Amino acid sequence: RKKYNLPEDKFIFCSFNNTYKIQPKMFEIWMEILKEKHDSCLWLLDTHETAKSNLLEKASELGVKKDRILFGERLVNNEHLERHICADLFLDTFPINAHTTASDALWVGLPILTLSGDSMVSRVAGSILKNLGMSELVTTNYEDYKKLALELSNNQKKLNVIRNKI
């Protein structure tokens, strides 16, 4: 974590999806999660200065201090994969799920929490998880997504069981 300027003593949620996939409702859910999980932060991909500025401004409007939203620069693939091991839980986007990004996270053993919908692009991560026998990480509504994120972030034993299963 030190290598990537991440806090050693916080639960780190991450989402390395492209910024355009972060829709307002999902970002609001993420901020609710951070407000309930006080010792946590959210690590995102730094894709564009305007997007970064807008996300930080929205976080502040929603009552989350800007220093709890962290940004990681684009890296070459092996370094990008390596940094995944620093996170505790990958929060997928909705209605456009992680595709290759989901595979990257799972490849290094990082659990993904996803919300599946009716469209193909909103079922990709869920399909990958179900194929791995990890249906317990697939939700179908925002309330269950938030509840499971908080449950996993507050239950290290359960999270470790899921990591080991991956």
Residue 42 to residues 20, 37, 120, 128, Cα–Cα distance (Å): 17, 11, 26, 23
Token readout for 46 is 């730094």
| Minimum mean pLDDT range among 12-16, 78-82, 94-98, 151-155 | 78-82
Q: Is pLDDT of 39 > 90? A: yes
Task: For residue 7, name the pLDDT band (cuts at 50, 70, 90).
Answer: very high
Which residue, 17, 36, 34, 45, is CA-closest to 68?
A: 34
pLDDT per residue as tens digits for the range 96-126: 999 999 999 999 999 999 999 999 999 999 9
Backbone angles phi, psi at 97, to 5 degrees: -75, 170
Task: Quote the pLDDT of residue 154.
Answer: 98
Cis preceding linkage at 111, omega within 30 = no
Q: Is pLDDT of 54 > 80? A: yes
152 vs 80: CA distance, rounded Å: 24
Q: What is the pTM of this model?
A: 0.94
